[in-house]
Amino acid sequence: MTAAIVGWAHSRFGKLEDETLESMIVKVATDALEHAGIGPDDVDEIVLGHFNAGFSAQDFTASLVLQADDRFRFKPATRVENACATGSAAVRQGIRAIDADAARIVLVVGAEQMTRTPGPEIGKNLLKASYLPEDGDTPAGFAGVFGKIAAAYFQRHGDQSDALAKIAAKNHKNGVDNPYAQMRKDFGYDFCRAESEKNPYVAGPLKRTDCSLVSDGAAAIVLADIPTALSMRRAVAFRANEHVQDFLPMSKRDILLFEGGAEAWKRSLDKARLTLDDLSFVETHDCFTIAELIEYEAMGLAKPGQGARVVEEGLTEKNGKLPVNPSGGLKAKGHPIGATGVSMHALTAAQLTGEAGGIQVKDARLGGIFNMGGAAVANYVSILERIK
């Protein structure tokens, strides 16, 4: 273990009409330092996760973090991007700076403002996270890409509509107790399962309740090397942090296996010398319910095609054997692209320090995180443990 999370901050996710990209970044950067009990002078490096892809006219955003305090001036600041895993890419870059002894304390911020973009442009921007020569004309944008994945899964393994509705219902129920969540409403299984005027089909077999939300939001974490972290208020260490990149074209792989995600999980568990049975909970990337279903199989909870059994047996419920997405996941919490991975790390750290409030998992000791960019192209897994 070379790095630990020592502080964090999280905005509300949703349609934040009174905020700008800059104001969100400034607020979480300031609050994360306060939570860690340090000031700007203590920070050695800054990393910003910001996908953009057309959501913001301001495309050069790394130095927006410096707007939080003039004392940040002249510190290294870099923006990173890796599609929907942009936030975790920023976290990993911060860890690597500490690994290399290039920094002792790193401020990592993730942010996105999506709701000010007109609907058709939102779909076009998000589709940039796919392989455009093959998927550029997909109806319904990125939802259409996962609609095709869901249809192919149904064709190979049978209709999974019941399982997808149970995943959606679970995550919405969990999100009710998350003060940062965009949608805090328990819709119930019946609503998520039935097609209706309020829950129409969006793409293939995916209904509205199967799709994550268009969101504004930001999150930040403060990373420190282990000796420094142990001298601070709290310390949540990385037992593992792995990144696996797969081919961009879905035609070059079996898209129903999420092999890059499976490899990232294997490497992380091996490095941490743990098994899934050791984990207290997992925050996973449910951009669409079919993604969470396949991720059960990729992480090893079920064999390929048998992810529905995990749902049916209640293993991933908040009081189940391995709670998945106690935060409500992207499904209820929202999915501001650049903020998502940082949010996952912040809320996992909160769980492990007993600071998660209504979404707290009882006796949480080890937390797993899976954040992916594109259709299982950029795959990041972290395993966190509190050490102070």
328 Cβ contact list (under 8 Å, min separation 6):
171, 172, 174, 175, 176, 178, 181, 183, 184, 359
pLDDT digits (tens, 9 = 90+) for 339-367: 999 999 999 999 999 999 999 999 999 99
Nearest to 83 by CA among 373, 381, 380: 373
- Residues 237 and 230: their CA atoms lie apart, in Å, by 10
Three-state secondary structure readout of 37-84: CCCHHHCCEEEEECCCCCCCCCCCCHHHHHHHCHHHCCCCEEEECECE
Specify the amino acid at residue 7: G
**Residue 383 has what pLDDT?**
98
Sheet with 378-386, strands from edge to edge, namely 77-80, 45-49, 105-113, 216-225, 3-10, 236-245, 378-386, 366-373, 281-284
**Residue 280 has what pLDDT?**
98
pLDDT digits (tens, 9 = 90+) for 160-190: 999 999 999 999 999 999 999 999 999 999 9
* Banded model confidence at residue 152, pLDDT cuts 50, 70, 90: very high
Task: Give phi and psi for 174, each to the nearest 5.
Answer: -65, -35
pLDDT digits (tens, 9 = 90+) for 26-56: 999 999 999 999 999 999 999 999 999 999 9
- Please compute the mean of the pLDDT values over residues 213-236 and round it to a whole number: 98
Asked whether residue 191 carries a pLDDT value surpassing 90, the answer given is yes
Q: How far is CA 355 from the centre of its chain?
A: 19
* Banded model confidence at residue 1, pLDDT cuts 50, 70, 90: confident
Q: Does the 3-117+216-229 domain belong in CATH 3.40.47.10?
A: yes
Here the tokens at position 57 are: 């006219």
**Residue 288 has what pLDDT?**
98
Q: Which DSSP category does 354 fall into?
A: T
**Residue 325 has what pLDDT?**
98
List the domain boundaries for the chain. Answer: 3-117+216-229
Computed over every residue of the chain, the mean pLDDT equals 97
Among 93-107, 128-142, 251-265, 297-311, the minimum mean pLDDT is found in 128-142
Asked whether residue 130 carries a pLDDT value surpassing 90, the answer given is yes
Here the tokens at position 325 are: 């997405």
pLDDT digits (tens, 9 = 90+) for 252-303: 999 999 999 999 999 999 999 999 999 999 999 999 999 999 999 999 999 9
Q: Quick count: other Cβ atoms within 10 Å of Cβ 320?
A: 15
- Residues 177 and 184: their CA atoms lie apart, in Å, by 7
Task: Report the DSSP beta bridge partners of residue 3.
Answer: 225
CB-based contact 309:158 (threshold 8 Å): no
Nearest to 225 by CA among 4, 42, 34: 4
